[in-house]
Structure 1
Amino acid sequence: MALPTKRTSAAWFDDGHIRLIEQDVPELRPGSIAVDVRASSVSPGSELSANRDQREVKGGWRSLAEQGRSPQAGSEPGRARGYSNAGIVIAVGEGVTRFQPGDRVACIGGGYAVHTDTAIVPHNLAVHLPEQLTYVQGSYGLLMGTAMQALRRADLKFGESYAVVGLGIVGLLTAQLHMLAGNRVIGWDTVPFRTEIARKLGIDAVVTVGPEDPVERTREFTDGYGLDGGAIAFGGEASKAVQSLVQCMKRAPDHHVMGTIVVVGLAEFTYSDHEAAGVTNIDIRSAMRTGAGYHDEAWEFGAGYPPVFMRWTTTTNLELCMRLAAEGKLDMDTLITHRIPFADVDEGITQALEDPDSMLGVVFTQDG
C-alpha cells in the first residue's frame, strides 16, 4: 500500500459534535512510521469532556468514575484528536529498523496516534501487536501504559494491600496490574455499572461508594492493618476521596499515617492545616506518563535509552502490557463497551452519551 497524501480524521468542534475532515498526511520524517489505522480508542475523561459539556446529556457524569487528563496540547476545535491507535505499517522513515511494511502495531502519542485512517507515529511510540490481539485491543496502548507506570510509581511489595479509587479504564487496568504483581486490591467507585465490571474482572474487593462505606469496608479488607498504598484514578475534585483514603492507610505507633498515594491524572484536592499535619508521612506521587521517554522528542524519533540503565521506558512498558494481554492475564475485552464505525463517529458518540454511566471503553473502528 502506497503512502497516501490525504487522510480522513475525526475532529471536535465548538458545538460539541465530531466531524470527519480531510487533512494532509504529515511528513514521514526520519525515525517515524506510517500506519494504516484500523482502530483508535477514545477516552471518556478527556476527549469526550467537551462533548458532554456542550451537549444536553441525559444522566449524570460522576467525577469519581472518570479518569481525568489534561486537555491535549493544540487540540483546538476542528483539530483531530486522539492518542492511541493500532493498525498496519505501510512505510517507514529513514533510520527505522524495528518495523517494516506489513507489521501489525499498537501506537500512542497525542498529535500522532490520532483518530484517522493514516497516522505518522514516532517509532519509539509504537510496539508490535501480538497476533493474539485484535486491533481494538491494541488501540488501548496508552491507557495500558499509563496504568503500568502507575503500578511502578506505587513501588509496592508482594502481598501488600492497595486501593484504587475510580474504576474507569485506567483504574481497572491499574487494579488488574497490581493483582498480577501480587498485591491485594480493593476498588472504589460511585457508579454501580463500573463496580460490577470490577467484580467481573475478579478484583479482590469492590465498594460502591454511597450505598457502602469505603472506609469501613477497606479496614475490614486489610484485617485492620491498613492500606500500604492507593491510587486516585480520576480527575477533578478529589478532596473527599483522598481524605477517605488517608483514613484507611496504615498507622505508626504514634498514630501517624504511612504509605504511598499515586495520583493518576489531574485530580485536585486540598487539606486544611489541621488535616495536612496528619498526612506528612504519606508519599504522594504523580503518574501521568507511560514511562521514561514520553514527550522527549529526541527519544521518540531517535535511539532508545540503554536498557542496562533504563529498563522500563514507554516502549518496554507497552511491550509488557501487550504481552500480558496476549497471554490472557490483562483483560481488555470486558472494559470495552462501545465499538463505533469510523464513518459514524458523531452518531455513535451521541448514542453513547445518552447513558454515560454505562460507557467505559469506546473504540472507533475502520472496519465497521
Structure 2
Amino acid sequence: MKQVAQNKKTGEMSIEEVPVPNVQSGLVLVKNRASVISAGTEKTTIDNRKSSFIERAKSQPDDVKKVIDEVKRAGLLATYKRVMSKLDSLAPLGYSSAGDVIAVDPSIDDIEIGDRVACAGAAYAYHSDVILVPRNLVARIPEDVSYETAAYSTVATIALQGIRQAEPTLGETVVVIGLGLLGQLTAQMLQANGCNVVGVDLDRTVIDLANNTGAAMALHPHDDDVLGAVMGITRGHGADSVIVTAGTKSNDPIILAGNLIRERGKVIIVGATPMDIPRSPFYQKEVDIRISRSYGPGRYNSVYEEKGHDFPIGYVRWTENRNMQAFLNLAASGKVDTDVLTTHRFPVDDALKAYELIEGEKTEPYIGLVITYDEALDTEAKPEPAAETSAPAEKKGDPLTVGFIGAGSFASGFLVPHLHDMSDVTLDIVCNRTGLTASDMRNKFGFRKSSTDTAEVYGEAGIGTVFVGTRHGDHAENVVNALNSGKNVFVEKPLALNEEELAQVEAAIKANRESGLNNVMMVGFNRRFAPLVKEMRAFFQPRHQPVIVHYYVNAGYLPKDHWTHDPKDGGGRIIGEVCHFIDTIQYLTGETPVRISAENMFTDNEQVVNHDNVNIHFRLSGGSLGIVSYVCNGDSSIPKERITMSSANRTAVMDNFESLILARDGKQSSKKGTGDKGHKNEVQAFMQAIRDGKSELISIESMLATTRATFAAVKSLQDKQTVAL
C-alpha cells in the first residue's frame, strides 16, 4: 500500500510502498477513502524537518535541553546513536481521514466490518491507503455524509473544541481571527450555533469565502476598520468572544483580540500564534484567556485514546469522539459545508503535489486539500500467531539468515547496524506493527522484505535466527514462537512479564532441547559485554571471598502513562529495566540471587510511580550481596550508572561506562572507556555462538534467575517482606 512520509533528517518527502498493517488489540483497521491535509500544522512540521540542525535547535530549545541532559546521564556516544537513529528515519504525515472498516479486533463490539468511519489521531489517521486506529478515535459516518466531508472531522473537531471553550450562546458576537481551514470551519459552526460571526484575515480570498458562507462580515485588519465594525455590530460593547485560529509568528492577532473583546469577554487561542499578552487592555477588561487543546477531553490521555476507556457522559459531555460525532451530525444536517472549502483533490500517487502548494513551490490559492485513495486494495487482514508450547518444528533455515521483529529506534541504532556489518549474515524479513517503520528499516539496511505480520518471519523456511525488539509485552510470545519454529532467538530484555509467560518460555526451551534442536536463546543483557564491566570482573579474579556490589542507576523520570508502566505492554521499570542490573551483578559475582528484599520511596505526588525509586537487596548463592538503587528523582547532571564492587581489600568503581577506578593495596589505577554498553559485543558474541554451534551464550538458568528476581523484587514491595527464590 502507499503512504505519504517525510525523512526526519533531510526533510525529503516521498510516497512509500509499505506493508498493510494487521489488526491488533483494541484497534480498528480502516481502508482510507479520503484524508485532509491540515496545511498549517503539516507545513510547520515539514518546514522544521527541512531546516538545518542549528535552526531546529533554535526553534526547539526544550528538546535541546533534553539531549544535553541525556548526554550527562547516558554519555555522549549512547545519546548520539539514539538521536541519530531517530533522525535518520521516515515519519508519517496526516491526522484526519475517513474510510471503510475492513477488520476489527474482537474486543470491540460496536464497530463492524463495512462501517463507514471518520478517523482521528496524529499517530493513527495517516495519509495512507490503510490505517490502524483505536476505537475512541473512529466515529461512524451518517448515511448522507460523504467520505470527503467526513475526512475533515479531526480538523473540524479542533475548531469545535475551540468553540466549546468560548461557551457561546444564541445571539452572541464572536470574532474569528484567521480564516484558513480551521477558521472557516469555526465560522460555519458558530453560525450553526446562532452566533453573529465576524471574520478577520489578511487574505482577500478567504475573506470573500467567509462572506459568501454566512459570516455577518469578514474584514481585512489593515484595509478595513475592524474595530469600528465590531463596535457597530455590538452597540459599542465589543465581541463576546474572540477565537484566534491564525497560525503566525506575529503577535498581532493577540493585540487585535484585546482591542475587540468586551469587558470580561473570552479570548480563545486555537492556532499556533505567539501569546505576548499586553497587560492593557486585557487587565482593564479582565479578559478570560483560554487555550484550546486539540480535539477535546481525551486528547493526550493514553487510557482514553490507546486503551479505549471512555469518559462517562455524565461527567465529560464532549470527548474527542463525541466532538467528532457532533461535527458529522452538523454536516449531515447541512449546517456545515466542506465542499466550498475543498480547493484541490489529489490521488495518493500525486500527493506530493499538494505539498508543493503548501510549501509555496506552486503559487495557487488553496484552503482544503484532499487526498483520495483507490477503493480496491488487497487488504486481507491476517491474525497474529498465538503463543503455543507444542512440539517445535524440525530445524530449518540458515542460522545466519536473520528475521527481525520490532523496528524501533533502539533496534535500528544499536542492534541491526552490527548485523548489517557482518558479511556472512543475510537480513531477510523485518517486521513491525507499523508498515512505514518496517519499510524504512528494509530500505536502510537492505532487508529482502518488510512486513507487519510476524507469521511471515516464523513461516519463512530460509530464516534460521530471529531478533525480537518489540515492546516488552510481546517478548515471551515471540520467543516461544521462534523456538517452536526451530529458530535461534535473541530477545531484548525483559524475557517475560510474569510467571505465566515465563512458564511458556521454559516449556518451549524444554521442548526445543528434547527435540535435539538446541537453538540458541539469549536475552539482550548487554552490560555484561561492556568492556569496562568485563575488566571490573577480571580485576577480582581469582576470587576466594564474597563481594558486595552496589549498582546505582539514575534512571530519570517517566510519566505515569508511559507504556513502560502499563502492566501488559511494559511490566513496569523493575521488570522492564532493573533486570539489566541484576544480570550484571550475576555476571560480576558468578552467583545467582537466593533471597530478595526491596523498599520503595513513598510519595503522595500522584505523578510519580513509587516503585520507580527503589532499593533492592540481594543475597547471592555464594554469600555475596548485591544492591540496586534505582531512582527517577535524581539530577540529570549526574551520570546514569555507577557500579561499586568490593572484596578482599579490593575496590572497583565504574562510572557510566566511561571510567573505571581499580584500587588494591592502597594503590589506584584508572581506565578510560567510551561509554560502550556492550551492544556491539553482545550481537557479535551471539552470532559467533551460532556459528560455533553452541546452545548457550548466557546460561538459561542465569536468564531465568534474573527474570524471577525481578518478579520477587516486585512481590517484596507489594508484600513488604523478604522473598526467597
Output the TM-score relative to the length of structure 1: 0.85
Name the CA distance, whole Å, in 2 between partners of 1:213 and 1:53. 36
Q: Give yes or no for contact 1:191–1:357 (8 Å, CA) kept in 2.
A: no
Q: 1:83 aligns with which of 89, 95, 112?
A: 95
Q: Give yes or no for contact 2:187–2:197 (8 Å, CA) kept in 1.
A: yes
Q: CA deviation at 1:91?
A: 0.4
**1:158 has 2:158 as partner:** no
* Paired-residue identity, %: 30
Name the CA distance, whole Å, in 2 between partners of 1:10 and 1:17. 11
Q: CA deviation at 1:25?
A: 4.0
Q: CA deviation at 1:236?
A: 3.0
Q: 2:330 aligns with which of 324, 328, 331?
A: 324
**1:342 has 2:337 as partner:** no
Query: Quick one: which amino acid aligns to residue 41 of structure 1?
Result: V
| Partner residue, 2:39 | 44
Comparing 289-298 with 265-274, which one deviates more in the overlay?
Answer: 265-274
Name the CA distance, whole Å, in 2 between partners of 1:272 and 1:323. 39
**1:362 has 2:374 as partner:** no
Q: CA deviation at 1:51?
A: 5.0
Q: Secondary structure at the match of 1:20?
A: strand
**1:298 has 2:264 as partner:** no
Name the CA distance, whole Å, in 2 between partners of 1:209 and 1:285. 23
Q: CA deviation at 1:123?
A: 0.8
User: Relative to 1, partners in 2 of residues 1:249 and 1:350: Cα closer, same or farther, differing over 3 Å?
Assistant: closer
Q: Give yes or no for contact 1:41–1:139 (8 Å, CA) kept in 2.
A: yes
Q: Secondary structure at the match of 2:94?
A: coil
Higher relative contact order (CA 8 A, sep 6+): 1
Name the CA distance, whole Å, in 1 between partners of 2:321 and 2:200. 30
Q: Secondary structure at the match of 2:214?
A: coil
Q: 2:270 aligns with which of 237, 240, 264?
A: 264
Q: What are the superposed Cα offsets for residues 105-143 of structure 1, whole Å, 9 maximum, x if unpaired?
A: 100001100011110000110001122122111111111
User: Relative to 1, partners in 2 of residues 1:273 and 1:325: Cα closer, same or farther, differing over 3 Å?
Assistant: closer
1:225-240 paired onto structure 2 within 5 Å: 225-240=237-252
- Extract unaligned runs of 5+ from structure 1: 1-6, 56-73, 251-256
User: Relative to 1, partners in 2 of residues 1:240 and 1:148: Cα closer, same or farther, differing over 3 Å?
Assistant: same
Name the CA distance, whole Å, in 2 between partners of 1:192 and 1:154. 26
Q: CA deviation at 1:321?
A: 0.5
Q: CA deviation at 1:169?
A: 1.1
Query: Quick one: which amino acid aligns to residue 100 of structure 1?
Result: E
Query: Quick one: which amino acid aligns to residue 137 of structure 2?
Result: L
Comparing 98-107 with 239-248, which one deviates more in the overlay?
Answer: 239-248
Name the CA distance, whole Å, in 2 between partners of 1:294 and 1:51. 23
Q: Secondary structure at the match of 2:41?
A: coil
Q: CA deviation at 1:271?
A: 3.6
Q: CA deviation at 1:295?
A: 2.3
**1:183 has 2:195 as partner:** yes
Name the CA distance, whole Å, in 2 between partners of 1:285 and 1:207. 24
Q: CA deviation at 1:225?
A: 2.1
Q: Give yes or no for contact 2:246–2:253 (8 Å, CA) kept in 1.
A: no
Q: CA deviation at 1:269?
A: 2.4
Which structure is higher in helix share? 2
Q: CA deviation at 1:94?
A: 3.0
Q: CA-atom RMSD, angstroms?
A: 2.3
Q: Secondary structure at the match of 1:267?
A: coil
| Partner residue, 1:71 | none
Name the CA distance, whole Å, in 1 between partners of 2:240 and 2:325. 28
- Extract unaligned runs of 5+ from structure 2: 51-85, 376-725
Q: What are the superposed Cα offsets for residues 147-169 of structure 1, whole Å, 9 maximum, x if unpaired?
A: 11111100122211110000011
Q: What are the superposed Cα offsets for residues 76-100 of structure 1, whole Å, 9 maximum, x if unpaired?
A: 8621111111110000013111211
Q: CA deviation at 1:208?
A: 1.8
Q: Give yes or no for contact 1:188–1:206 (8 Å, CA) kept in 2.
A: yes
Q: CA deviation at 1:47?
A: 1.0
Comparing 144-153 with 346-355, which one deviates more in the overlay?
Answer: 346-355
Q: CA deviation at 1:53?
A: 7.5
Q: Give yes or no for contact 1:167–1:189 (8 Å, CA) kept in 2.
A: yes
Compare CA radii of gyration and give the structure with the larger one: 2
| Partner residue, 1:245 | 257
Q: 1:144 aligns with which of 146, 156, 159?
A: 156
| Partner residue, 1:221 | 233
Total equivalences in the alignment: 337
